[in-house]
Structure 1
Amino acid sequence: MKRTVGEIMSRTGIRIPLILWTLAVLYPIFWMFLGSFKSNAEIYANPWGFPETFNYQNFITAWTEYNIGSSVFNSLIVTLMGAVLCLVLAIPTAYAIERINFKGSNVLFTVYISAMMIPMVLAWIPLFFLLNQFNLLDSLVGLAVVYALSQLPFTIFVLTSFISTIPKSLEESAAIDGMSPYGILWKIVTPLSMSGIITVTIMNTIQFWNEYFMALIFLQSEGNYTLALAIDYISSEAQYTNAWGTLFASLVIAIIPVIILYAIFQRRITKGMTEGALKG
């Protein structure tokens, strides 16, 4: 009986802080969601209450007058291009580092790992001049390339831990049957590393979708604004036009894809991170 009471108290002591932390995280999101359906008068008169009527005008205003629609499209393009390019570069590199014994492979892997420790802010100024030199400044393609390269060390680090656990006998059998090294990579190694690939892709996608500072530096024309820059513009406008409902609606539009993506692939992410921790 004493042991049972002790276990209950122990579990309660663990769960109460977690519940309080969950409420602290969810409440601002819930408040923002309610604010997106309120008029400015309701926001000032009753900021913490429910809206009298659920008004969708804030979403219409954000989508039309503030061009959130084009910003969503720009973010989608940059995110997809960056995620795909990062995988195209990371998968062969991780395979070469892990499977091909060449002089300097350990040094190369150490360099990639060390790159994870370098703050990206140190590269912003050199990247600005480099993109300008290649006529990729104020370009969604240039921003996607920067995104892909910024997450390349992390992606390689995760994928090498998955590739290292694939039995070499499978690759040797495929080679005996006449399969080329590229065929082994894309038809055997890549499918068997799918948990890690999905995990890093989702994490990179969320990172690219929410990124703000590099987009602010490398994008200049309003037509190329990503969603983060568009929301920042609405935030600055809200101080003078009282468009707080529109700002809340824009934030809701921004977080809904991330929530849906995480809800769909939650088990995949957890499984991939757990397997990566055990295999690494």
Structure 2
Amino acid sequence: MKLGRILMKTVIRVPLIIWALAVLYPIIWMFLGAFKSNGEIFASPWSLPKVFNFHNFVSAWTDFNIGTSFLNSIFVTVLGTILSLCFALPTSYAIERLQFRGSKVLFNLYLSAMMIPMVLGWIPLFFLLLKFHMIDNLWALSLIYAVTQIPFSVFILTSFLGTIPKQLEESAAIDGLSPYGILFRIVTPLMMTGIITVSIMNAVNFWNEYFMAMIFLQTDEHHTLGVAMDLMNQQAQYTNAWGALFAGLSIAIIPIIIVYAIFQRQITKGMTEGAVKG
């Protein structure tokens, strides 16, 4: 019996270990390449760097304008995440709790919007922003990010709202609390796990977004990291700045790793709690 359990665990774990190594190896190789000189990268691409030199990071941050793009990405990610949450949280509460006429239809419309490819809206959005003189504007890009994630955020948050007992809100209403007071003082603290989960998933999506940033941002000082890394990759082919490119990629991926490491438990808990609607 014990042998069977050991074999079963081995069968399950071995493919997972192999998959983890396949995913981690290129990332580790990229981090090591960020500390190597160009000569070391070509001479011994698979070895450890002889000296851990931070020159590539300085070069990527200053010479290739990664520093400005990094700050731009932080701006659009934070602002887009906050706006998306501000739009989605009251909407989710209204759909799930108020049960007004047409609430189910509205919820189904949000679900349908999740199925529409965003690429279909790029051209109309471009001309709309052009008309309002909002091309190459980080505020406009943040707003677009927030709006595009409202359907997903509403879908997740309504699932969390369904797990909160209505009796708590009814007691608060009897005590004279307004619907907004119930939402922000009673409901929001109870569904903080869901809010953190949605915020992190949206933030990761905004941080990694490339195509809309490339279309709607046109000057170097407004480029986000995705666009800057693409331009840097093109330049590295002609300037032989592969070490700086690896350093830039490392700078781009480090914030996501840190955020996931900090909120890993909340994300896992949020995904499991939101899967069952009460």
TM-score bracket, normalised by the shorter chain, equals: over 0.9
Partner of 2:189: 191
1:182 aligned residue (180, 183, 186): 180
Separation of aligned partners in 1, 2:98 and 2:132:
33
Q: Which amino acid aligns with 1:44?
A: F
Separation of aligned partners in 2, 1:165 and 1:245:
50
Partner of 2:75: 77
Q: CA deviation at 1:265?
A: 0.3
Separation of aligned partners in 2, 1:80 and 1:135:
23
Residue deviations 1:85-132 (CA, integer Å, cap 9, x gap)? 000000000000011121111100000001111111111111111111
Q: CA deviation at 1:198?
A: 0.3
Partner of 2:139: 141
Separation of aligned partners in 1, 2:124 and 2:220:
23
Please, what TM-score do these two structures have when normalized by structure 1? 0.97
| Identity value in percent | 65
Partner of 1:34: 32
- Secondary structure of the residue aligned to 2:100 is coil
Separation of aligned partners in 2, 1:176 and 1:279:
26
1:266 maps onto 2:249 in alignment: no
Partner of 1:239: 237
Question: Residues 50-199 of structure 1: matches in 2 within 5 Å?
Answer: 50-199=48-197
Partner of 1:210: 208
Q: Which amino acid aligns with 1:33?
A: F
Number of residue pairs aligned between Structure 1 and Structure 2? 278
Question: Residues 7-18 of structure 1: matches in 2 within 5 Å?
Answer: 7-18=5-16
The structure 1 segments of at least 4 consecutive aligned residues displaced by more than 6 Å after TM superposition are none
Q: Which amino acid aligns with 1:25?
A: V
Residue deviations 1:174-224 (CA, integer Å, cap 9, x gap)? 111111111111111111111100000001111111111110011001110
Separation of aligned partners in 1, 2:99 and 2:19:
48
Q: CA deviation at 1:154?
A: 0.5
- Secondary structure of the residue aligned to 1:55 is coil
Q: Which amino acid aligns with 1:250?
A: G
Q: CA deviation at 1:29?
A: 0.4
1:19 maps onto 2:17 in alignment: yes
Q: CA deviation at 1:165?
A: 2.0
Please, what TM-score do these two structures have when normalized by structure 2? 0.98
Q: Which amino acid aligns with 1:264?
A: I
Q: Which amino acid aligns with 2:34?
A: S
- Secondary structure of the residue aligned to 2:275 is helix
Residue deviations 1:122-171 (CA, integer Å, cap 9, x gap)? 11111111111222211001110111111110100000011122222211
The worse-fitting range, judged by mean Cα deviation, of 97-106 and 20-29 is 97-106
Q: CA deviation at 1:8?
A: 0.9
Question: Unpaired runs of 5+ in structure 2?
Answer: none
